[in-house]
Amino acid sequence: MAVNNAATEAPSTELRSDLGKIARTFLVRDGEKPWTVGEVRAIAFELAAEITRLGTELTDADAELSELLRNSGDGAGDDQADSGSSALEREQELTLLNNTRDLLAQNIHALARIDDGTFGACELCGAPIGKARLQAFPRAILCVQCKQRQERR
C-alpha cells in the first residue's frame, strides 16, 4: 500500500494576506467575541503542525504495514496461532493507518475552511459552531446540536 503523497502534503501554511478581514467574518455564538487574527493564526499553525506530524506518522505506519504484508508468507513452520496472531497484528496496523488518514483529512479540511472563509460555520445548518469549541477542537465541522443529532442516529 503506497501512501498517496497528495493526501499527506500539507496545504500551504501561508495564510491569506487578508486574514484579518476574513477572521472577523467567521461566525461566533451569541456572547462570544469576534475571532482575532492571532487566534485564527494560532489555530492554523496548530493544524499545519498536526498535518506534518500525521503525514510522518502515516508514512511510518504504511512502511510498517508493508513490512508485515511482505513477511506474512514467511515461516513455513508457523502454526495456526502464529498465523492468527500475524493476521491480528496486520488488522490492527491497518486500522491505525486508516484512523491516521481520517485525522489527516480532517486537519487538511479544517485548514482549507480557514482559507476559504467558512471556518466557524456548521456544515449542516450554517449556524456558528462556537469559538470555544473550535479552539478546543479545530477540526469540528458541526455545531453542538447537529453533532448530537448525528450521534443519535
First to last CA, the chain: 33
**Predicted confidence band of residue 5 (pLDDT cuts 50, 70, 90):** very low
Residues 10 and 6: their CA atoms lie apart, in Å, by 8
- What are the boundaries of each domain within the chain? 19-119
pLDDT for 3: 37
Looking at residue 56, its pLDDT comes to: 93
pLDDT of 117 above 60? yes
Using only C-alpha atoms, the chain has a radius of gyration, in whole angstroms, of 20
Q: What is the pLDDT of residues 45-103, one digit of tens each?
A: 999 999 999 999 999 888 887 777 776 655 545 566 666 677 787 788 888 889 999 99
Q: What is the pLDDT of residue 9?
A: 47
Please report which confidence band the pLDDT of residue 24 belongs to, taking 50, 70 and 90 as the band edges.
Answer: confident
Among 47, 52, 31, smallest CA distance to 135 is for: 47
Please state the rounded mean pLDDT for residues 13-31: 80
Locate 113 and state its grid cell: 475552511
For the chain, what is the mean pLDDT? 83
Task: Report d(CA 85, CA 134) in Å as an integer.
Answer: 41
* C-beta separation of 145 from 152 below 8 A: no
CA atoms of 92 and 36, how far apart (whole Å): 42
